A and B are shown apart, each in its own frame.
Chain A
Amino acid sequence: MWDILRNLPDERKSIPGTAEMENEIQTTSQSRNTSLLRRLLVGGNFKWTLVRMGCTALICVVVFSVFVRPIRVKGISMEPTYRNGTILAVNRWSYRDSVPQRGDVVAIRFTGESVMLLKRIIALPGESVRITDGVVSINGSPLEEPYTSVNPSWNVKREITLEGHEFLVIGDNRTMDQDEHEFGIVTRSRIVGRLLF
Chain B
Amino acid sequence: MKNLIIWALLLCILGGLGFLGWKIFFPDEKEKIRELVTQLDAAADISPGGKPLSNLNAAGALTDLFTRDLEIVVDRGGGRKMQLKGKDSLLQAVMGAQNMGAVVNVQLKDPVIELLDGDRAKVQLTAMANQQAGAQPIVQMLDIEIVKDGGDWKVRKVGTMETFKRLE
Closest Cβ of chain A: how far from B127's Cβ, in Å? 9
Q: Mark A92-119, 1 if CB is under 8 A from B, else 0.
A: 0000000000000000001111110100
Contact B110 A156 (CB under 8 A): no
Which residue of chain B lies nearest to A110 when distances are taken between CB atoms in the complex?
B126
Closest Cβ of chain A: how far from B167's Cβ, in Å? 4
Contact B165 A114 (CB under 8 A): no
Contact A114 B167 (CB under 8 A): no
Main secondary structure of the interface of B (DSSP, over half): strand
The answer for the CA separation of A185 and B165 in the assembled complex, in Å, is 5
The answer for the CA separation of A166 and B167 in the assembled complex, in Å, is 12
List residues of B (106-128) whose CB comes within 8 Å of A's CBs: 109-112, 124-126, 128
B137: CB under 8 A from chain A?
A: yes
Chain B residues within 8 Å of A157, by CB: 168
The answer for the CA separation of A158 and B167 in the assembled complex, in Å, is 8
Closest Cβ of chain A: how far from B165's Cβ, in Å? 4
A10: CB under 8 A from chain B?
A: no
Contact B139 A112 (CB under 8 A): no
A111-B125, A115-B126 known; A160-B78 Cβ under 8 A: no
B54: CB under 8 A from chain A?
A: no
A114-B109, A179-B78 known; A185-B167 Cβ under 8 A: yes
A182: CB under 8 A from chain B?
A: yes
Chain B residues within 8 Å of A179, by CB: 77-78
Q: Mark B149-162, 1 if CB is under 8 A from A, else 0.
A: 00000000000001
The answer for the CA separation of A142 and B121 in the assembled complex, in Å, is 47
User: Which residue in B77, B110, B162, B168 is a CB contact (below 8 Å) of A112?
Assistant: B110
Contact B165 A166 (CB under 8 A): yes
Chain A residues within 8 Å of B112, by CB: 111-112
Q: Mark A48-86, 1 if CB is under 8 A from B, else 0.
A: 000000000000000000000000001110000000000
Which residue of chain B lies nearest to A168 when distances are taken between CB atoms in the complex?
B167
List residues of B (89-142) whose CB comes within 8 Å of A's CBs: 109-112, 124-126, 128, 136-137, 139, 141
The answer for the CA separation of A87 and B66 in the assembled complex, in Å, is 38
A111-B124, A115-B126, A115-B128 known; A182-B164 Cβ under 8 A: yes
Contact A111 B137 (CB under 8 A): no
The answer for the CA separation of A172 and B167 in the assembled complex, in Å, is 17
Chain A residues within 8 Å of B3, by CB: none
